[in-house]
């Protein structure tokens, strides 16, 4: 009889790896004063894609006997991102409350400057900043960071799983018991 793999348990370590990598990357960018640099966001996305590929491949090869359907791979990727998102939310809260409680003000100033650079009228800037001040609070940012991470994690899982899926011939390739 084939042993059933618990996808939640099997991917806990993978989620921790992805989440802690995100924390380390964010801290490095913070201490290098590159937090608001747009390019670093793209670099992080590429890093996440590469890491997700290797984590899903590891899951397929170590827990799924080298075979995984597209749906199983997407599901595992979403679970990995859920664990990672929870770690990221905790880190976000700590970053904005403990590490740098003034980061919200810096971010608001950065946003205001960008709006003015784009030629937005002062009235629009004032309205936009009033809204931002209401939502740019650690207790709001942290839970919403989970939603954002899950959205992008699902998209990345859908894409990466195209390259991870590996279905064998059911008459020839049976998993070893």
Predicted confidence pLDDT, tens digits, the chain (177 residues): 456 889 999 999 999 999 999 999 999 999 998 888 889 889 999 999 999 999 999 999 999 989 999 999 999 999 999 999 999 999 999 999 999 888 888 888 888 888 888 888 888 888 888 888 888 888 998 999 999 999 999 999 999 999 999 987 666 655 554
pLDDT at position 11? 95
| 3-class DSSP state of 166 | strand
Nearest to 85 by CA among 42, 134, 52: 52
Q: How far apart are CA 90 and CA 26, in angstroms?
A: 13
Terminal-to-terminal C-alpha distance of the chain? 7
């Amino acid at each position: 009889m084939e042993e059933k793999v618990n996808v939640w348990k099997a991917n806990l370590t993978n989620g921790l790896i992805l989440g802690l990598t995100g924390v380390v990357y964010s801290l490095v960018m913070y201490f290098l004063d590159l937090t608001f640099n747009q390019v670093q966001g793209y670099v992080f996305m590429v890093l996440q894609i590469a890491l997700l590929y290797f984590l899903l491949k590891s899951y397929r090869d170590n827990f799924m006997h080298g075979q995984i359907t597209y749906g199983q791979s997407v599901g595992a990727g979403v679970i990995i991102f859920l664990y990672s998102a929870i770690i990221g939310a905790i880190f976000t809260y700590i970053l904005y409350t403990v590490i740098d409680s003034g980061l919200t003000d810096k971010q608001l100033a950065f946003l205001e400057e960008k709006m003015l650079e784009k030629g937005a009228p002062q009235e629009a800037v004032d309205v936009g900043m009033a809204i931002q001040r209401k939502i740019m609070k650690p207790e709001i940012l942290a839970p919403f960071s989970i939603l954002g991470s899950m959205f992008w994690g699902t998209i990345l899982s859908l894409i990466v799983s195209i390259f991870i899926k590996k279905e064998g011939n059911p008459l020839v390739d049976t998993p070893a018991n």
